[in-house]
A and B are shown apart, each in its own frame.
Chain A
Amino acid sequence: MEYIDIINALVLLSNFVLLPAITYGSQLALAALGVTLIYAVLRFSNFAHGDLMSFGTMVTILITWWLQSVGITGGVMPTALIALPFGILITALLCILIDQGVYKFYRKQKSVPVVFMIVSVGVMFTLNALVRFIIGPDDRRFFDGEKFIIKATEFKNLTGLDEGLAIKSTQVITIIVAIITMIILFWFLQKSKTGKSMRAFSNNEDLALLSGINPDRVVMYTWIIVGALATIAGVLYGLDKSFKPYTYFSLVLPMFAAAIIGGVGNPLGAIVGGYIIGFSEVMLTYAYKKFLIYILPTSIEPSGLMQFLSTDYKFAISFIILVIVLIFRPTGIFKGKTL
């Protein structure tokens, strides 16, 4: 066995497992952060989060189209990145609107969490319908600009390896934007006054109220952040794959899975959970045959695909992990820590 085989195997793995998993994991992590923030501050599981994501993405797509029609594009970058701040703004406004119109009533009544959850199902239906009504239920791609940073053939020519590594620009954009968003979020929660009051409110509501924290303000800021996170996550997912309302609606379970694995209400847990789900979905359905041929001696080469689960079950993996975590450690990995 030569060392070049090992490098080939590693390149193969990065191309088909590492990069897609990190990208998908980042998207899920951002989405799960939204779920977890709602849980930490407002104390319910928001079923409407997937549709909030799809609403934010839809607004961004509409603005992107408008920008393109007046001749503004991002050049090598996707135009959607220019539209993103406007998308965030409108989605955050919608969040505040929904909170004032729907959730505030139940907060004043001090309803139990299950009531909030049922109400969020109602919000889910209305948002879902709104998105389908405005943009339609079809699959849409809104990516423009340079598609690849490096193509597989270019990589092969450059390095002389047998395996190519294709780096899509959406993958790099996703990872960079996700990291920046997470840094800003953590800085906000740890250092800013509003962030600190959010943490205090999440930790002990009564004590926070006693020390003069304005609950309406905390809730409003939470919704703004949640709207922003949902839009960013949705746009990154849509750029990388495509935008379809039904797919976004069904992302709600992987998102819950990510949030719960890390310990719901804990932002760090949501991020870790997002990557765990992302990696397990990709790793468990990848066929390792080629990889093993590279690293194993010829005598024990595998005959089958060497796949843990058929790709049919790709979506089911996150549900299986979710159920296993709920049964064995419902408090998640980072037990007992909130915001």
Chain B
Amino acid sequence: MNQKLRAPIAFLFMGLLLLSVGVGQSWSVSLGIINLCLISAIMSLGVNIQWGYAGLFNAGIMGFVAIGGVSAVLISHEPVNEAWASGGFGILISLSFIIAAYCLILFIRKNLNSIFLRKFFILLISVLTLFIILYFYRPAVSSIESINPAKTGFLGGLGLPIIYSWLVGGLIAGVIAYFIGKITLGLRSDYLAIATLGISEIIIAILKHEDWLSRGVKNVTGLSRPVPYEVDLQQADWFVDLVIWINSGKISSILDSSDQTILINQLIIDSSGIFVKLCYASLFTIVLLIILAFSNRALNSPWGRMMRAIRDNEDAASAIGKNIVKQHLQVFIIGSAVVGIAGAMLTTLDGQFTPGSYQPLRFTFIVWIMVIVGGSGNNLGSIFGGFFVWFMWIEAEPLSIFIVQFLTNGLDYDNVIRLHLIKSAPHLRLFLMGLILLLTMRFMPQGVIPETIKRK
């Protein structure tokens, strides 16, 4: 097939799939899928920056998604003043000690020449800081967590509009990626994957168990929204008028006035849900387009060419004077920041932060499948991969139940095997994901929309 036609055909196909869900199931379901597709697309753009541009295998995507998620909490939740009053000081002291110790260690590393002395002092400072921190930190934590634990029990956030967290989530993810990258990027590809996988699990463990920061497994629910609430919409006159105007044909066809009111109420409830999802979809689309524009610009710039050169031949790139370590760190930070933005958006959409729901299968490996299926190195490909794989992930469940029901039609209604198969059918979506990945790797290793390199 013509290379140029691949992208339009792929997206046309994707649009048809989403349309068919809208017509076949409901527009609300279709829009729900689209919203998560948009977020997935941003995640896979972030991973594509790391893997497609620079060849870095980061298996810690889940960690950055969660960092984005927690920053949504930290930005939008109302501050818990009592908690700040009782334990905020201890936490701030501990934090400043960590920063001071880090600076001191950096200073020693730069200015002490003897390796033995350097190691000795670094160890000494680390141990001392640990003890000082434990002295301030433990009491602070227990006092924070004891304040109204059923409702808050944590420091809360800044009480700002949640939409700021998209930017802040990216920034925090970038900063943490700097430290992670500093320590892991010297590793070989498979060790890098394992190390980042481990680090992402550590991040999740911290978010799950440091209740003062994120409420841990007690979850934070009821986060504020950047879009109107359905209840408010249903009360608003302009919205009611809009719904009546759009559906005027349908309404006027019913003559009985009480039936008419019931229909109008039903229409208003349905459309308020759809309206909210449309608001989210447009916000997400704006973010996606901005990131796509930047990514494309970066990929086609001298920087992008240098990145590809490093990916394809590190030795040659380093021989012509490119600093491999520095560039890898840079691209690692940028990609992780994009994933962090997507993580904050996901928490915004859910309206809640649940550390227990972050699992590597869902948040690391599925995103990888998106990038590889879409086409590593191609931004449009990653977006397509995000849409397609997320769509399959959602629709595989009804599909596999349907298939199993079809296959077991001959069996009795309460046949043990049939009941077991129908109960287990949802797990087939993992099988489908694995199959999609294996087939892509085998027959289309470049992905659906392969990387295109402009040559003059």
Q: Which residues from chain A sit less than 8 Å from chain B, CB to CB?
A: 44-45, 102, 105, 113-115, 117-119, 121-130, 132-134, 136-137, 249-250, 253, 256-257, 260, 310, 312-313, 315-316, 318-320, 322-323, 326-327, 330
Contacts and interface: CB of A to CB of B under 8 A. Distances in A.
A275 B289 CA distance: 51
B437 A114 contact: no
A315 B437 contact: no
A122 B435 CA distance: 7
B13 interface: no
Given A313-B205, A326-B195, A118 B368 contact: yes
A28 B430 CA distance: 26
B427 interface: yes
Nearest to B196: A323
B194 A45 contact: yes
Contacts of B199: 319, 323
A129 B430 contact: yes
Given A312-B205, A326-B184, A327-B184, A133 B428 contact: yes
Interface in B159-211: 183-184, 187-191, 193-195, 197-199, 201-202, 205, 208-209
A312 B441 contact: no
A143 to B, nearest CB: 23
A330 B191 CA distance: 8
Interface centre among A45, A118, A319 (most CB of B within 10 A): A118
Nearest to A128: B430
A123 B439 CA distance: 11
Given A115-B445, A312-B208, A330-B188, 11 more contacts: A124-B365, A125-B365, A125-B431, A127-B434, A129-B427, A132-B427, A133-B427, A133-B428, A315-B205, A318-B198, A323-B199
**Minimum-distance CB pairs A-B, first 5:** A125-B434, A129-B431, A126-B434, A129-B430, A319-B198
A126 B435 contact: yes
Interface string B327-362: 000000000000000000000000000000000110
B20 to A, nearest CB: 25
Given A122-B441, A253-B201, A310 B209 contact: yes
Nearest to B372: A118
B201 A136 contact: no
Contacts of A102: 438
Contacts of A122: 434-435, 437-438, 441
Contacts of B57: 114, 117
Contacts of B209: 310, 312-313
A234 B368 CA distance: 27
A32 B360 CA distance: 20
Interface residues of B, number: 43
Contact of A136 (B187, B189, B368, B424): B424
Nearest to B201: A319
B195 A130 contact: no
B191 A260 contact: yes
A316 B202 CA distance: 6
21 contacts: A45-B190, A113-B189, A117-B190, A119-B438, A121-B369, A122-B438, A123-B438, A125-B431, A125-B437, A129-B429, A129-B430, A137-B427, A313-B209, A315-B201, A316-B205, A319-B202, A322-B198, A323-B202, A326-B194, A326-B195, A327-B183
Contacts of B456: none
Contacts of A319: 198-199, 201-202, 205
Interface of B: 57, 183-184, 187-191, 193-195, 197-199, 201-202, 205, 208-209, 360-361, 365, 368-369, 372, 420, 423-425, 427-435, 437-438, 441-442, 445
Contacts of A318: 198
A257 B436 CA distance: 29
B441 A119 contact: yes
Contacts of A119: 437-438, 441
A117 B360 CA distance: 16
A323 B437 contact: no
Contacts of B435: 122, 126
A114 B190 contact: yes
Nearest to A109: B445
Contacts of B369: 121
A256 B192 CA distance: 12
A37 to B, nearest CB: 16
Contacts of A256: 194, 198
A253 B194 CA distance: 8
A313 B203 CA distance: 11
A130 B427 CA distance: 8
B28 to A, nearest CB: 28
Interface centre among B199, B428, B431, B432 (most CB of A within 10 A): B431
B194 A260 contact: yes
A125 B430 contact: yes
Contacts of A126: 430-431, 434-435, 438
Contacts of A121: 365, 368-369, 437
B41 to A, nearest CB: 20
Contacts of B208: 312
B193 A323 contact: no
B423 A136 contact: yes
Contacts of B198: 253, 256-257, 318-320, 322-323
A113 B190 contact: yes
Contacts of A128: 361, 430, 434
Contacts of B429: 129
A114 B428 CA distance: 26
A253 B360 CA distance: 11
B431 A118 contact: no
B60 to A, nearest CB: 11
B294 to A, nearest CB: 27
A124 B184 contact: no
A286 to B, nearest CB: 18
A44 B57 CA distance: 14
B434 A129 contact: yes
A64 to B, nearest CB: 18
Interface centre among A129, A134, A256 (most CB of B within 10 A): A129
A76 to B, nearest CB: 32
Contacts of A127: 434
Nearest to A324: B183
B187 A124 contact: no
Contacts of A124: 365, 434
A253 B62 CA distance: 15
A330 to B, nearest CB: 6
A117 B442 CA distance: 13
A115 B441 contact: yes
Contacts of A253: 194, 197-198, 201
A99 B397 CA distance: 29
A126 B365 CA distance: 13
A128 B209 CA distance: 27
A307 to B, nearest CB: 12
Contacts of B433: 125, 129
A118 B205 contact: no
Nearest to B438: A122
Contacts of A44: 190
A132 B205 contact: no
